[in-house]
Structure 1
Amino acid sequence: MSSSVRESPPAHPCSPSDGALHMECHDRYFMIAVALSFTGEDPRFEAVDRVGVHPITKQNEAKCGYCVTVLPLLGHVELRGSYFSCHTDRDDGDFTFSFNLITSRDGKEVVYPLNKTCSPTLPWSPREVTCAINYMEVLLQSESSCSVGMKTDQTAVAPTPGAVTSDWQVTFEREQEQMPAMNLSEARRQGYMFDLTDGLIVFRTSYGQPDSFMTEVNGIPVEKVQATLFSKQGWLVLMVEVVAACSMYSGSYDDGHMLWKTPEVLYSGLSSDRLRAGLNGELVDQSITEKEGYLVKTEDGTVEISIRYDAAGGYRKSFVAGNLYEFYLFHFFLEQVLLDEDDVKTVVRFHRALITPLLHCPIYVQNQTVLEEQLFTVYLGEVPEDVTLTGLQLNGYQCDVLCSNTSTYNVTEVVHANNTRGYTLKVPFSNPFVIKQFFSEDSVLQYRLDINYTLSVEPQNEVYFHMASIVAVFTGVSPPVFEAVCLDSGISFKLDHKPFDYLWDVTIGSELLTSEMADRHGYIMTNDSQTLQLEVPLFTPGYTYADISLKGFVGTFEILVQDGETSAVQTSTVKKCSFTSSELIVCSTDGRMTVVADVSLAIPKEGKPASTTLADKYCGPKDADESRALFMFPLSSCGTIVKIGKKNVTYQNEIFYKNYYNVDRLGSANDTERVIVQCTYPLASLHLLFSRLKFESDAVGTGRIIHTKQATAGLKGPAIKPTVAPETTPATKRPPAKPVAFLPPVHRPGRYFSRFYNLANRMTKGTNSSMKMYAVQV
């Protein structure tokens, strides 16, 4: 190593925490690993000995038996050192390593001292060759040097303890060419390291030196260095032949396995005795290696190592490059024992970093949805341990993964023993994010959930998006259909519930059918998990009436089934029933009043209902029987009186017996019943009346038939007085017919008074009607 020595900055009193620092003694090397999160991006090491502090640089680390590797994707920096590396203190079989770790904090260098003493338990072999990642090292024991290559002209002897390295020279042989000799000091300056102390000879060189050469053995590239050490001591010439040969096969990948090869015999005259392999400097038995996923075999003079890509002991890392990829790194270790003809052992050890090519990360999405649960269940699997789920989009809506345990969606993490994790996502079909489509032609209901997972690769926080689309399909689905039955008092509707009825809205007109709405309109509704029963009494809102006569009428009621999202009508149930009623009043949206009224108490004993009229004596009944009369007339005719309220407009008329002026002469001095008929419309629903002079209401009117008593003695003509919302008790001899009670919607107070007054006069001007105009705001 270079003799560069410098004074180090003051050491930091603390060492890195246990989680950030690992120091390990192996059989033939020492290792330090420090987390980059602690060191920063540019950590450095210094070797410390009795002389001083020596920086470890790229120029001298291999020469001195060190290998410093920064592995940002694995998140740490690693230093490996040979037991015979420079500046290591050797004392009776113990090896003490002292280093400084230099980091940068806030622009200042911070130094942390690191120390470790190792005592290898494995005895040293007569010759050991180490093919490290960045250098070759040969160790010879002097007591067995005669049998491993020390020679004189006739006899080989060991170097004496008194010999000094300055007495030795070295020459290299390169492809049968002998290089000029040089002393060991010159060899060190050229990058070679020789150590001839303590009965050992240690030779070390980095790969690619000028005096090394490449060759092929069984098609495998091999780098070889062949040197001869010699020293003249008196009349003796001591010579030591030092040979280092290492396979330079870089590795290959095939069908999920990483492959590495070396010639079975790298040194001539030797035979292979044993092979053992392992990872991270630890050797294991062959039966265990096969179980753990790597296999050693010898075939045709070649040793081949096969390591399954996910074998135990390897390092795995994810990263993003458009897609999500992964690679596996193995610190592979192979030990080969060779024997010569005298059974003298040579041990060759290979340390190699094998890296797989980029592999697509096998993240997958599994649809675990059970339709009967009405719930999407989606599993995101094989998520590596260095990848986490940080975001989620459901059909374009951003969702918070950290606060996912809600009624609308739920995310659960599942951790597996193979260093992967999974995420289970549950989303109810009723979630507003879920897209629902109903195909009426095929009776198919489809739910779709488009998922965009946001994944983050640690520690560099690279973002990757993984997308999936999940579809749940139900067949034989159709909108609900009611059964309808005619009753004497109205119409009854029944619906047997099916699983997907909740997808549709049931409406009457534009109103959603609810229990509150049914109560407000006078419907009778019961609804449980199995059946919806709705009884609609006659003359409640929602009916339409046709074919009205004295014999009866047809009442029609319609229930609509609409799409819950688009409000498009999917089906309708229309029921028409024939009814009879003693009295009936209908106020149509086109401004007509139809009345069937009992006038038996409003006429004299000898009178007939056919002789009755409205306020205009020329407006008689369309039909009559012994007690009732049928009138059909426009609201703007027959003497109808118009009354304006804050919210409503009321059209009122009265039924008279046409010979009313002869009542006394006919001998009826008793009180006579008055029959008042009226239709009330919401004021705001008549906007077309003011803009186009045309009666057209947005809603049907509310009709009433009022029976009240009034003395008729001296009566000279029609006597309809302006009253406010007349309310009287009907005659006791018969109950009044139920009115058609369509409740008008609530609108703003009347604001059409003056315009309506003028319009009403124009509508009645020029007629022969005796209609009187009242504009009373109540």
Structure 2
Amino acid sequence: MPYRLFCLLMAAVGIQAQQTPSINDTQIINLTPGLATQCGFSFKFDPMGNAMLFASLQNCFSQNMAVASGYKMTVVFSPSKNVMNVDEVQRKGYAIANTPTRLVLRSPHNAEETYLQNVAGVPMRVLSTSTFFEQKWLVTRVDATAVCPTPVAFTPEVITWYMPKHIDPLFSSDAFTMLEVYMGIDAKRLDIEEMAARNYSVLVTEAHIIVEIPVGAVGGYFKSHIQDDQYFVTYTIEPMLELLWIEEVAHENTSYKVLFPITTPPMARPPQVRNLPPSVTGNCDQENFHITVDYRNQEPFFVVLVGKRLLNHEFAQQYLTEGDTDFTITLPFSSPDAVFESVHSSSVRSRLDVALLNPYNNMTIKYFSLACSFLKTLTECFSNGTMTALAVKVESAPGLNPGQLTLSDPACGPTYSDARFAYFHFTVNSCGTTRKFINNVMLYENEISLPDELEVKLNATTSSEEEYQLKVSCYYVANITRTLAFLTRPRDKPFAETGTGRLMVRMRLAQDASYNTFHQEEDYPVVRYLRQPLHFEVELTTSSDPKVALVLDHCWATLNEDRDSRPRWNLIING
């Protein structure tokens, strides 16, 4: 069988080959698939979708020099014994041409005169002909046979191509010697190192030459398909085998070369979602934010920014609870890492921002914000005619200094303040408090704000006009009558006598309401925010008299050891 010689004509045309006319001098000929096969043209698409057109040097339109032979040619096809002249051969879709040293015969794979033959257990398609050249009293016969492989074996991992070592239709005897076996891809030979790098395998046995190519190996490409709304892929590669053998009877070398495009059957590839970014969810209870970060069995390749503070070891020990593939941050709504969005008479709306950052470039992987309204009494009214009010710095007034806030009377500043809070304690008949009667109710109102001169100064140094106003009020019933029932009885005898003496009393501060753990001396001073509960235990240590009872009547806190100093905060009243 003669060598197939191809030259690359076009490498990047995005059109169908059968729609591309071929030009022969000034004549345009439409190159149909049938004509392409007959005349020695072929085309395929590269992985980028570009069309590649190949042409044999012996194609119908090449500028070959004419050779005057004067022979009459007749072709006999085997095994059908059909006899055709050159015109009939060409009308059937075959191509035949000859030179003084070469006979070229072409046929489509599924032509009428081709047939399947089992060769060493491998089905192969065969075209077998005898061509007679007649001139006067001289007749020359040339037998030509072409053998092409048929589909190969597939697994999801490997393509296996079986080629018979002894291709019966091409041999005249069983005695032969295989001289060379080469493998290549896209008509280019590969050496042993290149084959090993691509994990290709060629095994020569007694009966077969076995080529194994991993699905997805270098040299081929995948293509996506959609069938019945399902995703599939195919893998395409074009291996080449070159064989050279010598038959011991004829003592002539025979070269056999086959380029075999292989496409796997569609392989289902259900979509798989991997490397998902971590998810962040959150909720609130009455006092806290709960933020959960789920990183889904992946290494937590990120750092956590809570508010404006990075989650470090100390922070994590205090607020973080860790699971197998997630962790939860529990943070009080009044934490400095949260911001207050708004303040109402009975609630505070607080927001916590959490960001997951790439530790190398600080790019945000995930951002999450949780805002909740927390029920909180900001104003308290007492029966002795005093009021307390808590003012909170909100996000919309970032330049506000709570310590500069006052009541309606600018002389009445906060009893206590820090960077986020201002606490006021005053009587209802002071600090500019107004009184209004509504039916049988007295309404006392006051307002917490910045003095005018400070507000003007603040607005002059910021780009926005900030105004902070918080109204506080108390309702008292003006006149009410209560009916109480009581009984009297004589006092028991003997009467208790008033006595004097010293008793040892110990007072301790518990860490929580369970009273199981108490603060030690080295823990003081203990920091507590306003409105946080304090759990005191008062114990009479030396008396064993069961008739002696200890009552804690009143307890307050001051800034120094002088019990009568101001300001002071009532902790227990009428205990």
TM-score by length of 1: 0.39
- 1:738 aligns with 566
1:242 maps to which of 124, 130, 144: 144
Counterpart-to-counterpart distance in 2, 1:297 and 1:196: 37
- 2:242 aligns with 335
Instruction: Kindly state the Cα deviation for residue 46 of structure 1 after the two structures are TM-superposed.
Output: 3.1
Instruction: Kindly state the Cα deviation for residue 52 of structure 1 after the two structures are TM-superposed.
Output: 3.1
Instruction: Kindly state the Cα deviation for residue 330 of structure 1 after the two structures are TM-superposed.
Output: 0.8
- 2:391 aligns with none
- 1:49 aligns with 24
Secondary structure at the residue paired with 2:69?
coil
Does structure 2 conserve the Cα–Cα contact (< 8 Å) formed by 1:45 and 1:55? yes
Kindly indicate whether residue 381 of structure 2 is the aligned counterpart of residue 589 of structure 1: yes
Deviations for 1:673-706, whole angstroms, at most 9, x for unmatched residues?
xxxxxxx874865565479989xxxx99xxxxxx
Kindly indicate whether residue 103 of structure 2 is the aligned counterpart of residue 201 of structure 1: yes
Secondary structure at the residue paired with 1:63?
helix
Does structure 2 conserve the Cα–Cα contact (< 8 Å) formed by 1:278 and 1:334? yes
Opposite residue 31 of structure 1, the aligned amino acid is L
- 2:55 aligns with 81
Counterpart-to-counterpart distance in 1, 2:114 and 2:283: 74
Instruction: Kindly state the Cα deviation for residue 292 of structure 1 after the two structures are TM-superposed.
Output: 2.4
- 2:261 aligns with 353
- 1:305 aligns with 211
- 1:178 aligns with 81
- 2:181 aligns with 275
Secondary structure at the residue paired with 1:592?
coil
1:67 maps to which of 42, 51, 62: 42
Does structure 1 conserve the Cα–Cα contact (< 8 Å) formed by 2:283 and 2:370? no
Instruction: Kindly state the Cα deviation for residue 506 of structure 1 after the two structures are TM-superposed.
Output: 5.2
Deviations for 1:627-673, whole angstroms, at most 9, x for unmatched residues?
xxxxxxxxxxxxxx9859864449xxxxxxxxxxxxxxxxxxxxxxx
Counterpart-to-counterpart distance in 1, 2:110 and 2:568: 107
Kindly indicate whether residue 160 of structure 2 is the aligned counterpart of residue 259 of structure 1: yes
Instruction: Name whichever of 496-505 and 275-284 sits farther off.
Output: 496-505
Deviations for 1:178-205, whole angstroms, at most 9, x for unmatched residues?
22x3221221111221112243211111
Instruction: Kindly state the Cα deviation for residue 87 of structure 1 after the two structures are TM-superposed.
Output: 0.6
Structure 1's 690 and 29: CA in aligned 2 closer, same or farther, altered over 3 A? farther
Matches within 5 A, 1:670-681: none
Does structure 1 conserve the Cα–Cα contact (< 8 Å) formed by 2:233 and 2:267? yes
Counterpart-to-counterpart distance in 2, 1:649 and 1:183: 124
Counterpart-to-counterpart distance in 1, 2:11 and 2:57: 20
Deviations for 1:189-238, whole angstroms, at most 9, x for unmatched residues?
11221112243211111112222221211221111122111133232222
Instruction: Kindly state the Cα deviation for residue 277 of structure 1 after the two structures are TM-superposed.
Output: 0.8
- 2:534 aligns with none
- 1:448 aligns with 294
Structure 1's 505 and 273: CA in aligned 2 closer, same or farther, altered over 3 A? closer
Secondary structure at the residue paired with 1:312?
coil
Kindly indicate whether residue 116 of structure 2 is the aligned counterpart of residue 214 of structure 1: yes
Does structure 2 conserve the Cα–Cα contact (< 8 Å) formed by 1:260 and 1:306? yes
Opposite residue 77 of structure 2, the aligned amino acid is F
Matched residues, number = 361
Stretches of structure 2 that go unaligned for 5 or more consecutive residues are: 302-313, 321-328, 341-368, 387-426, 437-443, 448-470, 482-529, 532-561, 571-575
Opposite residue 168 of structure 1, the aligned amino acid is M
Opposite residue 96 of structure 2, the aligned amino acid is F
Does structure 1 conserve the Cα–Cα contact (< 8 Å) formed by 2:385 and 2:428? no
Instruction: Kindly state the Cα deviation for residue 497 of structure 1 after the two structures are TM-superposed.
Output: 6.0
Instruction: Kindly state the Cα deviation for residue 77 of structure 1 after the two structures are TM-superposed.
Output: 1.2
Opposite residue 157 of structure 2, the aligned amino acid is G
Deviations for 1:420-474, whole angstroms, at most 9, x for unmatched residues?
xxxxx7x7xxxxx7225799xxxx984125xxxxxxxxxxxxxxxxxx786969x
Secondary structure at the residue paired with 1:349?
strand
Structure 1's 81 and 642: CA in aligned 2 closer, same or farther, altered over 3 A? closer
Instruction: Kindly state the Cα deviation for residue 333 of structure 1 after the two structures are TM-superposed.
Output: 0.9
Matches within 5 A, 1:405-444: 434-436=280-282
Deviations for 1:32-63, whole angstroms, at most 9, x for unmatched residues?
45445xx3568733333347332211221111
Stretches of structure 1 that go unaligned for 5 or more consecutive residues are: 1-25, 93-160, 367-378, 381-424, 428-432, 450-467, 474-495, 518-562, 570-586, 595-640, 651-679, 701-733, 743-778
2:7 maps to which of 6, 30, 43: 30
Matches within 5 A, 1:691-770: 737-738=565-566
Counterpart-to-counterpart distance in 1, 2:6 and 2:198: 24
Instruction: Kindly state the Cα deviation for residue 284 of structure 1 after the two structures are TM-superposed.
Output: 2.2
Counterpart-to-counterpart distance in 2, 1:339 and 1:515: 88
Secondary structure at the residue paired with 2:148?
strand
Opposite residue 227 of structure 1, the aligned amino acid is T
Structure 1's 280 and 47: CA in aligned 2 closer, same or farther, altered over 3 A? same
- 2:419 aligns with none
Opposite residue 54 of structure 1, the aligned amino acid is I
Does structure 2 conserve the Cα–Cα contact (< 8 Å) formed by 1:47 and 1:55? yes
Does structure 1 conserve the Cα–Cα contact (< 8 Å) formed by 2:118 and 2:124? yes
Does structure 1 conserve the Cα–Cα contact (< 8 Å) formed by 2:17 and 2:31? no
Deviations for 1:114-157, whole angstroms, at most 9, x for unmatched residues?
xxxxxxxxxxxxxxxxxxxxxxxxxxxxxxxxxxxxxxxxxxxx
Does structure 1 conserve the Cα–Cα contact (< 8 Å) formed by 2:284 and 2:372? no
Counterpart-to-counterpart distance in 2, 1:319 and 1:692: 86
Secondary structure at the residue paired with 2:90?
helix
Counterpart-to-counterpart distance in 1, 2:196 and 2:217: 10
Counterpart-to-counterpart distance in 2, 1:445 and 1:514: 13
Instruction: Kindly state the Cα deviation for residue 350 of structure 1 after the two structures are TM-superposed.
Output: 0.9
Structure 1's 191 and 589: CA in aligned 2 closer, same or farther, altered over 3 A? same
Does structure 2 conserve the Cα–Cα contact (< 8 Å) formed by 1:222 and 1:246? yes
Counterpart-to-counterpart distance in 1, 2:291 and 2:137: 104
TM-score by length of 2: 0.52
Does structure 1 conserve the Cα–Cα contact (< 8 Å) formed by 2:20 and 2:30? yes
Instruction: Kindly state the Cα deviation for residue 246 of structure 1 after the two structures are TM-superposed.
Output: 1.9
Identity of aligned residues (%): 16
- 1:115 aligns with none
Structure 1's 434 and 498: CA in aligned 2 closer, same or farther, altered over 3 A? closer
- 1:723 aligns with none
Secondary structure at the residue paired with 1:168?
strand
Does structure 2 conserve the Cα–Cα contact (< 8 Å) formed by 1:338 and 1:346? yes
Instruction: Kindly state the Cα deviation for residue 90 of structure 1 after the two structures are TM-superposed.
Output: 3.7
Structure 1's 191 and 318: CA in aligned 2 closer, same or farther, altered over 3 A? closer
Secondary structure at the residue paired with 1:79?
strand
Opposite residue 253 of structure 1, the aligned amino acid is F
Secondary structure at the residue paired with 2:35?
coil
Instruction: Kindly state the Cα deviation for residue 737 of structure 1 after the two structures are TM-superposed.
Output: 4.8
Secondary structure at the residue paired with 1:191?
coil
Counterpart-to-counterpart distance in 1, 2:100 and 2:338: 102
Counterpart-to-counterpart distance in 1, 2:478 and 2:223: 77
Structure 1's 276 and 515: CA in aligned 2 closer, same or farther, altered over 3 A? closer
Instruction: Kindly state the Cα deviation for residue 741 of structure 1 after the two structures are TM-superposed.
Output: 7.8
Opposite residue 254 of structure 2, the aligned amino acid is T
CA RMSD of the aligned region, Å?
Answer: 4.9
Does structure 1 conserve the Cα–Cα contact (< 8 Å) formed by 2:95 and 2:106? yes
